[in-house]
């Protein structure tokens, strides 16, 4: 059974940093492309960043230059380093199995519990 468990969220002031982690199990993590997706209150899911099984990385324009995605295929961990956080980054963040088609990323499979990120002063 695929399991994804996100952690590392919290409250931070604008300009601050957080590092999110996702512990993956139940599948061969290193074989899959992975994404971070977020959902703000009252809005639909928004793709944030992705990393291919080989390590290539992709970012939404809204987070480019501020967020860094990485993966540890030995320990089955997906990470997201978030710097210079803004109030508009406030959302629940989820890690997701993903695939790229054309220039777009699509996520699929089970959802984890997510981790709340709140950016405010």
> What integer pLDDT is reported at residue 103 of this predicted model?
86
pLDDT tens for 8-60 read 999 999 999 999 999 999 999 999 999 999 999 999 999 999 999 999 999 99
- Hey, which bits of the chain come out as E strands? 3-7, 10-12, 18-25, 33-39, 46-51, 57-59, 67-72, 77-82, 91-101, 104-108, 115-119
Residue 64 reports pLDDT greater than 90: yes
For the residues 81-93, what does the mean pLDDT come to?
98
Q: Is the pLDDT of residue 118 over 90?
A: yes
């Amino acid at each position: 059974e695929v399991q994804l468990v996100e952690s590392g969220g919290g409250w931070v002031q604008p300009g601050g940093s957080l590092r999110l982690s996702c512990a993956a199990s139940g599948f061969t993590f290193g074989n899959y492309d992975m994404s971070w997706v977020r959902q703000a209150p009252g809005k639909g899911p928004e793709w944030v960043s992705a990393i291919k099984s080989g390590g290539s990385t992709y970012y939404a324009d809204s987070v480019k230059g501020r967020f860094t995605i990485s993966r540890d295929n030995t320990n089955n961990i997906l990470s997201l380093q978030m710097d210079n956080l803004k109030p508009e980054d406030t959302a629940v963040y989820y890690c997701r199995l993903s695939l790229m088609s054309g220039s777009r990323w699509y996520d699929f499979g089970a959802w984890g519990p997510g981790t709340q990120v709140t950016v405010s002063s």
